[in-house]
């Protein structure tokens, strides 16, 4: 699908904007796109049916947005500014935010650095790993740069390479993104998040870390374990979608 575009401090960012009502911003995970993460899984349809205005961007290096090959052009804190500028571009003062995996880190930086812009947040696919780390990024970056997936032996790297290939991604841009700035999010930082947050992680997710562990660090944190789902399959799960919809429908 063709998306709209705007200039985010010199970086072309693609986005969709559908429906009417209270806005919800969707931020996809690494190697995915707004279409793959949110449209194809039914999120946008479900949220617009629930009377929400749905905004979702292709993160820099992904989908229809600019493909940058310099690792210094990436990092979750920098990418959170793309989200903030998109809210500015659309004259949206405050929104609910759902981020998945890398998108959850981006959403966390948005909530930390721009607390007035986030009403409620859902951090999907990333629990205590947000503060403890999720492992060495280099095997994934190396897998993305391999001549073919047949030459990738690392299991996690192979999974992300397969996903990237399926989405027709720019592998150099994704490798740069994976090697991009990784400013840590500390326990003290997440403790400053004033918005209520739902932390949702698959029961068999070996990447994300404990959802309850992260929720316990956030004053308004709640945890959800998505039954029988791993990191790749949690995003479209009905239990996840229903819990997020109920959580975002709550008033302050």
Task: Give the domain ranges of the chain.
Answer: 4-134+184-249
pLDDT tens over the chain, length 252 residues: 789 999 999 999 999 999 999 999 999 999 999 999 999 999 999 999 999 999 999 999 999 999 999 999 999 999 999 999 999 999 999 999 999 999 999 999 999 999 999 999 999 999 999 999 988 899 999 999 999 999 999 999 999 999 999 999 999 999 999 999 778 899 999 999 999 999 999 999 999 999 999 999 999 999 999 999 999 999 999 999 999 999 999 876
E runs forming strands in the chain: 4-8, 11-18, 22-27, 52-57, 95-100, 118-124, 197-202, 221-226
Write out the CATH class of domain 4-134+184-249: alpha beta
* Token reading at 149: 């997936």
Transcribe 117-158 into DSSP letters: GEEEEEEES-STHHHH----SHHHHHHHHSSSGGG---HHHH
What does the alpha-carbon distance between residue 26 and residue 100 come to, in Å, rounded to a whole number? 8
Report pTM.
0.97
* Token reading at 233: 């399959």
What is the dihedral sign for C-alpha 119, 23, 33, 227? positive
């Amino acid at each position: 699908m063709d998306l709209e575009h705007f200039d985010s401090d010199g970086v072309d960012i693609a986005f969709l904007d559908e429906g009417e009502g209270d806005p919800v911003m969707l931020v996809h995970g690494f190697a995915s796109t707004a279409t793959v993460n949110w449209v194809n899984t039914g999120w946008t349809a479900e949220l617009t049916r629930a009377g929400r205005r749905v905004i979702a961007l292709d993160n820099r290096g992904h989908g229809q947005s600019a493909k940058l090959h310099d690792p210094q052009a990436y990092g979750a804190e920098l990418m959170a500014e793309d989200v903030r500028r998109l809210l500015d571009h659309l004259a949206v003062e405050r929104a609910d935010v759902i981020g998945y995996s890398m998108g959850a880190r981006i959403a966390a930086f948005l909530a930390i650095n721009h607390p007035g812009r986030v009403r409620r947040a859902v951090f999907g696919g990333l629990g205590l790993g947000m503060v403890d780390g999720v492992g060495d990024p280099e095997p994934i970056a190396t897998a993305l740069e391999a001549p073919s997936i047949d030459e990738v032996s690392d299991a996690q790297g192979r999974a992300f390479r397969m996903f990237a290939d399926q989405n027709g991604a720019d592998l150099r841009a994704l490798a740069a993104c994976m090697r991009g700035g990784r400013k840590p999010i500390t326990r003290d930082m997440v403790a400053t998040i004033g918005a209520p947050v739902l932390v949702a992680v698959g029961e068999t997710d070996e990447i994300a870390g404990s959802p309850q562990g992260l929720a316990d660090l956030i004053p308004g944190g709640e945890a959800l374990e998505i039954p029988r789902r791993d990191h790749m399959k949690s995003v479209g799960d009905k239990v996840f979608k229903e819990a997020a919809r109920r959580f975002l429908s709550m008033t302050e």
